Structure formats: C-alpha cells, structure tokens
C-alpha cells in the first residue's frame, strides 16, 4: 500500500496564477492604504512605518505558510484527526480568551490572546477550522444533507458552538460570518431550498432578538440609519467615515492627503480602513478595490467549480467565501448600508497574525487549483 507524501516532490501542475495575482494586488494596495492611514503617528515622535512593518512581517510569515500549504496535498486536510484537532484547539483558545486575566480586553471586548509581544484573535483560526469541519462533514454525509433534522442540523452543531463562544467576547460580526459561510456551504452541498429558507428565517429571528436585547446593540443597530443624528454617540464613527468618502470625491485627495485619520475617524487602520481608500483615492479607488475582491471571489469559485472531487470543491468555496463575505460586510458597514460591526477588511486592515492565517488559507485553495480541469496557463 502506497501513501502520498505530505510534501510532494514530483513535478506538479502550476497553481492558479490569476487567483495568486489578485491576492498580491490586494495585499499591495492594502499596505499602501495602511501606510496612508498610520504614517501621521510620526508627528508624535513615533515611527511612521510601525504598522506597515508589522504588516510586512505578517505578510512574510503568511507567504512562508502559504508556500507550505500550497505544496501539502489538499486531501491531507480531510483527515478526521486533522479536522477535529483544529476544531478542538480553536474551541480551547476561544474558552481561554474569555477568561479574565488570560484574554486581552480592548474597548470592552475580550478577543485577543497574547504570546509575548504578539497578540492574535482565536476567532480568526476558528473561522477556517469551521470551514475544514464543514467541508469534511458535508463530503461524508453526501445526499443525507437533503434532510433537515438528520442531515443539516447535526452538521451545524460545531459552527453553532463556535458562534456562541465568539459571541461571548462579544464579537457578533465574526460569529455571524461563521454562520453565514457555514449555511452557504450547506447550500452548495445540495440542501433543499425550503430547508435553507426555514434556516434563514430562524437565523434572522435569532439575530434580530440578539441585536435588540441590549441597549448598546440596539443603539448601534439604529444609528446606521441616520448616523448624523447620533453623531455625538453611536453614529460618530460612521459619520466620520461618510465625511471621508464625501471628501474624496471622484478621484480622491491623493495618497496621504486625507484628513479624517487625524483624530477624527476612530480605527482608520483597522475596521474603517476602507474609508481611507475613499478619501485618498476617491470613488475610482473604491471601485478598484471592490472589483478586485469580486475578481478574487470569481477566481476562487472557478477553482471550486472545476475541482475533481466534492471535498476540494467545498473547501475552496468555504475559504474563498469566508474571505469574500468578510470583505463585503466590512465595506458595507463603512459606507453605511449595514449596521456598524468590528470586522476587519482582509489584506487591508492592520493585523499580522490575521493576515498570515488568511494567506495560509489561500495557499490551500491554490493547492486545490493544481487538480482543476481548466487551463491554468
């Protein structure tokens, strides 16, 4: 009996260069925007490149991780011990981050674990561990997924547990993204539309109840409908974001020329970095970023559609879906068409460990692309 080596040494098909190129372009634009959003710190005697250096380090680690995941045969990720190991480690880390004194709290949210000078959000790892679990489980279940109680609901137990653990931080945006992508994967696996409609209705009801059950969440939910009416409170951040887009106009004020980052717009380097794109590069720059994410989604889904087996199809669709859903939710929040949430923009927002994990996940999709039936050249 022969086994496939973990890192194959034989000559392999090339990876999807289109997907790789789009990711590199997003990463380069992200670094440029991050520099624009943070270089003003030099006025206080700080290093104008401090955030960019951290991001470059994260990108370097991500590139190394991606080089490895690109070579590991993607069927390795289908092994039960690998999948369950990822799920268990993610769940343990999410429990640890909720413990006072262990988890690091910032602005009332306990989402971070510190490892010396580095910190990371276990929720980032939990997202892709859930995608792995869903891809493996949906592959094993096959046509059983056409049944609601014995097919769909058991599959959603692990995403549900991750949702509840992340909700305790609290981090509704990341928790919700996990559920959204999990449901989309169930749909791609062949679930019936009436079952999906029932789950969607139930999910919206639970989400509405949660959003309305606490005053601060209720205020945040209502503030995005008229942020300028609540500019002194919950609507302040969104109001400043919209001012940034208005100042940018069609072609922007120029790289680094935007003013909102100067103590007006909170967190210009993370959750609201897309507003910096709007102010510096205008509508044209925003459309370019949106089109790149759309192209990333299309290229990734092309890999999923042409993969030779069900597991690879679901895994690549889940990874690309996770990144794309997060990107479009972030941009929707920043332009005011969705309620304000703390969700970073992939490849743009500051966060070296998050970037590294995302790039490693893209490496898995690139490995899957080696088995595709379309011409990669």
The total number of structural domains that make up the chain: 1
Does residue 5 lie in a domain region? no
Does residue 63 lie in a domain region? yes
Does residue 212 lie in a domain region? yes
Does residue 113 lie in a domain region? yes
Which residues does residue 55 pair with via DSSP β-bridges, in sequence order? none
Kindly state the DSSP code that residue 111 receives in the 8-state scheme.
E
Asked if the model's pLDDT at residue 316 lies above 50, the reply is yes
The 10s digit of each residue's pLDDT in 244-277 is 999 999 999 998 888 888 878 888 888 899 999 9
- pLDDT band of residue 375 (cuts 50, 70, 90) is low
Give CA–CA dist 202/196, Å, rounded: 10
**The pair of three-digit structure tokens given for residue 312, joined into one six-digit string:** 């690879």
**185 and 141 in contact (C-beta within 8 Å)?**
no
Asked if the model's pLDDT at residue 63 lies above 60, the reply is yes
The 10s digit of each residue's pLDDT in 138-160 is 999 888 888 888 889 999 999 99
Does residue 151 lie in a domain region? yes
pLDDT of 112: 75
Question: Which residues span the domain enclosing 130?
Answer: 29-42+49-369
Does residue 8 lie in a domain region? no
92 to 111, 249, 257, 268, 281: CA distances (angstroms): 13, 47, 44, 31, 42
Does residue 10 lie in a domain region? no
pLDDT of 5: 55
**169 and 123 in contact (C-beta within 8 Å)?**
yes
- pLDDT band of residue 181 (cuts 50, 70, 90) is very high
Does residue 276 lie in a domain region? yes
């Amino acid at each position: 009996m022969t086994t496939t080596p973990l890192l194959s040494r034989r000559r392999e098909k090339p990876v999807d260069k289109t997907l790789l190129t789009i990711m590199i372009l997003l990463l380069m634009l992200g670094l440029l925007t991050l520099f624009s959003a943070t270089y003003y710190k030099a006025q206080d005697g700080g290093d104008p490149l401090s955030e960019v250096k951290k991001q470059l380090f994260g990108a370097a680690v991500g590139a190394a991780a991606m080089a490895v995941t690109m070579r590991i045969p993607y069927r390795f990720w289908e092994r039960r011990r690998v999948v369950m190991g990822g799920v268990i480690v993610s769940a343990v880390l999410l429990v640890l981050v909720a413990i006072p004194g262990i988890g690091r709290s910032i602005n009332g949210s306990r989402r971070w674990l510190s490892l010396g000078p580095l910190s990371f959000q276990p929720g980032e790892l939990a997202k892709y561990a859930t995608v792995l679990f869903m891809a493996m489980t949906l592959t094993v279940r096959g046509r059983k997924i056409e049944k609601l109680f014995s097919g769909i609901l058991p599959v959603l137990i692990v995403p549900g547990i991750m949702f509840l653990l992340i909700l305790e931080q609290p981090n509704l945006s990341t928790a919700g993204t996990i559920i959204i992508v999990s449901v989309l994967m169930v749909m791609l696996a062949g679930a019936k539309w009436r079952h999906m409609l029932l789950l969607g209705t139930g999910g919206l009801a639970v989400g509405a109840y949660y959003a309305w059950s606490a005053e601060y969440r209720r205020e945040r939910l209502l503030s995005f409908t008229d942020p300028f009416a609540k500019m002194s409170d919950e609507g302040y951040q969104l109001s400043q974001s919209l001012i940034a887009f208005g100042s940018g106009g069609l072609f922007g004020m120029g790289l680094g020329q935007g003013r909102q980052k100067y103590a007006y717009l909170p967190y210009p380097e993370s959750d609201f970095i897309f507003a910096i794109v709007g102010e510096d590069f205008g509508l044209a720059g925003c459309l370019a970023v949106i089109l790149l994410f759309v192209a990333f989604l299309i290229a990734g889904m092309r890999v999923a559609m042409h993969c030779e087996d069900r597991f690879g199809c679901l895994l690549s669709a889940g990874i690309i879906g996770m990144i794309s859903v997060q990107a479009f939710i972030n941009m929707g929040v920043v332009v005011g068409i969705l309620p304000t949430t703390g969700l970073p923009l992939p490849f743009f927002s500051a966060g070296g460990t998050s970037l590294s994990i995302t790039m490693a996940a893209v490496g898995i999709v690139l490995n899957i692309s080696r088995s595709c039936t379309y011409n990669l050249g």
